[in-house]
Each structure stands twice: as structure tokens, then as C-alpha cells.
Amino acid sequence: MMTLQFTQGDNGDRMVWNDSVLDSAESDLFEPDWWRSRDALLGEAQGRGAAYFLHGLDGKEWVLRHNRRGGVIARFNHDRFLYTGAERARPIRELRLIATLEALDLPVPRPIAARVAPRLGFYCGDVITQRIEQAEPLADRLANQALPSMAWQRLGAVLARFHRAGLWHADLNARNVLVDADDAFHLIDFDKARLRAPGKWRQANLARFYRSLAKFRDTSLAFHFLEADWSALRGGYVSASAAAL
């Protein structure tokens, strides 16, 4: 059974790690150059949170994501956050949330480790998760092919499961939903996400997801998203929500 362990490095870094995968955690785990020196850096993807793809210590692929700021503030501060304690820092909160969701048997990446590096009242942070095999962002899949109605219904049911668990995803969009080779769906990137009591936020969260899909559709005529697809998703969501009552 997985438990998350906490340790403090000699340099002051605070780290949480999955003891079913790692015996311990060191700051080197979060440094791309360390992985590059082991010839274990498989590639990288840029975005708000820079992601590095790794050949993990357990033989499986991992994703190392460095927390970055967005918006106007990123022009002069791209990765520093106010430090008010390790357990309140976003990387550690995110890893603990992923572990909670995994324990509920929800389709999320396996949590590996998180680091907070406090310096002079601020911190930088990183999260490592296991890479979901043979999966791609929903946005990429829809750019190339349509999904059948049953798949949209399954996606709606998956989102309902997360909402029933109380998950409010801060950035629910078509790039943070992955679809694998079996057309199974997974959620990623839980930075700033949290668990909440039932409320109107669920419909607002769905509306955010719809806007994401519509934005992709509006920028590309080749994007496979129809209003009928959304109706199928909503049908799966409603059915799964009613079945849980």
C-alpha cells in the first residue's frame, strides 16, 4: 500500500515521495541535468509548466513538471511563489491530492514525488508523476479523428466520478484530459485543484471544459467536436451522477 513520506534535504529542500516506488528522495530527482547525465531524459514539452519526460527509476516513464507562473506576473517572476510552509506549497498539495484520488480508484497518474525549494521567503517547486502509457491529450486526438458517441458518454461518466469525489479541477480543458489507446480517459495537472463540497461549481467546471473544446473547434475546421458530442457527454455525466444517488 502506498504512503507518502516527507523528508528535508541538506540544502533545505522539502520533499514528499511515494514509498511504494522510491526508497528515499533527493533533490537531484528534480533536476533535468541529473537525468540527462544518466541518459534518462527522453524529451521535454514547453508550456506554463515545463514538462520533462524521464526513464524513471522503476523502469517506467515519468513526467517531471516545474511549476511556472502564468499571466502578466510571469514577465518578471516566472517560477517563484510565496512560501508559507511546505504543506501549503502547491507541489506538495498537488501530490497529496493525486494520491487521494488514486486511492479512490480514479484515473490519474501515479504520484511519484514533489519538491519545494524555499529561498528567502519564496519557493520554486516540482512534481513527478508516472506517465500514462500510450496516451495523448484529447485535443490532439480530436485534431485527427472523431470520437464515437459512446466514448463521449464514457468521458462524461468519468468527469462525474471526479465531481462526486469532490474534485474541482482548476484548469479542466482538452489538453488536461488524456485518452489512451483503448479510448479510456485520464485527468492530469492538478495544480491548484482541490476537494470541495457539492455545489454549483460542478456545472461551472463542465462549462469551462465546454469552452475549451469550443475554442479548439473555432480555431480549426479540422477539429472533431460537434454539439451532438457535447450532448452525449452530458448524457453520460447525468446518467453516472444519477446512478450514484
Residues classed as catalytic: 171
Residue 64 identity (one-letter amino acid): L
The string of DSSP letters for 67-132 reads ----SGGGGT-SS-EE-S-GGGSHHHHHHHHHHHHHHTT-S-PPEEEEEEEEETTEEEEEEEEEPP
Q: What is the torsional sign of CA 129, 56, 186, 208? A: positive
- Interstrand relation of 135-137 and 4-8 (parallel, antiparallel or unpaired): unpaired
Q: How many CB atoms lie within 10 A of CB 157?
A: 19
Answer yes or no: are the C-beta atoms of 64 and 112 closer than 8 Å: no
Nearest 10 degrees: CA dihedral of 137, 142, 144, 146?
140
User: How far from the centroid of its chain's Cα atoms is residue 16's Cα?
Assistant: 17
The grid cell for 75 is: 514577465
SS3 5: strand
Cα distance between the two ends of the chain = 30
Q: How far apart are CA 17 and CA 96, in angstroms?
A: 10
